[in-house]
Amino acid sequence: MTNIEYVCPGGSILSRLHPPGVAGGDDEREGIDGVARAYAEAARAITDVWASAEYRRTWWWIGGQMHLSWRWIYVIGILPALVVFLTARRIPESHQWTQAHRRGESIAQVLRGKYGRHLIVALLVSISITVGWWAISSWVPSYVSQIAAKTGGNAAYYSGLAGLLYNAGEIAGCILFGFLADWWGRKPTALAFFIGSLVITPVVFLWVHNLAAVLWLQLLNGFLTSGLYSWYTIQPPELFPTAARATAISVIFNGARYLAMFGPIVASVLIQAFGGYGQAATVFGLIYILGAVAVLLLPETRGLPLPE
């Protein structure tokens, strides 16, 4: 539920924090709008790393010191939801949304024609990002463990280090994606990240077998494959009018996740069928071609006013 909710309203709200006219007049949306939204995605990545460390500390306190059940971890997990509830009550609805709501426009009416096409194409981009990320990031620890075991190293230590380096690259990628999207454009930036992800996957999983090299490559791997997640907070909000923006973002973000959820169920079968983690990840990495083609079919939205 948390993954379903955090991007959809957040992306819509953030797109209104830098409205038309902030930097370039009434007809332009220049400045740092993409950067601001990319920072939000980077903050999510930083929070993931921080939460992993705090989970271990919290479990040590609850289980080791207070001798309570692991179920209390889930009780503590309710606290962020309470913070969101209290915070959301203080965020006013945008003037644009209020006007669209008064006009009585239905979402089905809005998502006809070009906006419906935008939705389908953006969903294809999302599928490429999510399926590619799942196949690569989730198999990195196991793949590194195999290499470490063959060289006599501590498999658990090196798999954890690989995950840490991957997350560090992810944070940098999410931030830089926003700068590039504002300077270079939404489409060229996403295309460059898709091509980079397509290339880095066989490099990491097939061509390089040195443990140290594979570990350091996780910085670039995370930068490219996870940095793409900033696309969700930057371009989709700019593709749809206010009356359907949050709904469209929800479909784009979560539609791909519902497809990717079958991955862990069939992971072992896929790895055996393709002959190992490296081959399976490389085959799945080909889905970045879909994303590269699909993103070219979307309109460039840098510097344009939000659709109303």
* Per-residue CA distances from 226 to 19, 163, 248, 258 (Å): 27, 12, 22, 18
Backbone angles phi, psi at 231, to 5 degrees: -55, -35
Q: Please list, in sequence order, all residues whose beta carbon lies within 8 angstroms of the beta carbon of residue 230, skipping any fewer than 6 positions away.
A: 37, 38, 41, 42, 173, 174, 175, 177, 178, 181
| CATH at 222 | 1.20.1250.20
Q: Within a domain: residue 302?
A: no
CB 151 within 8 A of CB 215: no
pTM of the model: 0.77
Q: Please list, in sequence order, all residues whose beta carbon lies within 8 angstroms of the beta carbon of residue 276, skipping any fewer than 6 positions away.
A: none
Backbone angles phi, psi at 303, to 5 degrees: 80, 5
Q: Within a domain: residue 227?
A: yes
Q: What is the pLDDT of residue 157?
A: 87
Q: Within a domain: residue 301?
A: no
Q: Within a domain: residue 306?
A: no
Report d(CA 181, CA 177) in Å as an integer.
Answer: 6
Report pLDDT digits (tens) over 236-247.
989 988 878 888
Q: Which domain holds residue 237?
A: 2-296
The secondary structure element, H or E, covering residue 234 is helix 230-234
Report d(CA 122, CA 304) in Å as an integer.
Answer: 18
Nearest to 179 by CA among 302, 290, 82, 296: 302
Q: Within a domain: residue 287?
A: yes
CB atoms near residue 152 (< 10 Å): 7
Q: Within a domain: residue 59?
A: yes
Q: What is the pLDDT of residue 92?
A: 66
Report d(CA 247, CA 109) in Å as an integer.
Answer: 13
Q: What is the pLDDT of residue 118?
A: 93
Q: Within a domain: residue 27?
A: yes
Q: What is the pLDDT of residue 98?
A: 61
Report d(CA 237, CA 245) in Å as an integer.
Answer: 6
Q: Within a domain: residue 305?
A: no
Nearest to 121 by CA among 190, 22, 58, 49: 190
Nearest to 197 by CA among 173, 171, 176: 173
Per-residue pLDDT of the chain (308 residues; tens, 9 = 90+): 455 455 555 555 555 555 443 433 334 444 445 555 555 555 555 666 555 555 555 555 555 556 566 666 667 777 777 877 777 677 666 656 566 555 556 666 667 778 899 999 999 999 999 988 887 788 888 899 989 988 888 888 898 889 889 988 998 998 899 889 988 999 999 999 999 999 999 999 999 989 999 999 999 999 999 999 999 988 998 998 887 888 888 899 888 888 777 766 777 788 888 888 888 888 889 999 999 999 999 999 988 887 87
Backbone angles phi, psi at 29, to 5 degrees: -125, 80
Q: What is the pLDDT of residue 102?
A: 58
* Per-residue CA distances from 69 to 64, 76, 79, 130, 250 (Å): 10, 12, 18, 34, 35
Number of structural domains in the chain:
1
Report pLDDT digits (tens) over 176-231.
998 899 889 999 999 999 999 999 999 999 999 899 999 999 999 999 999 999 99
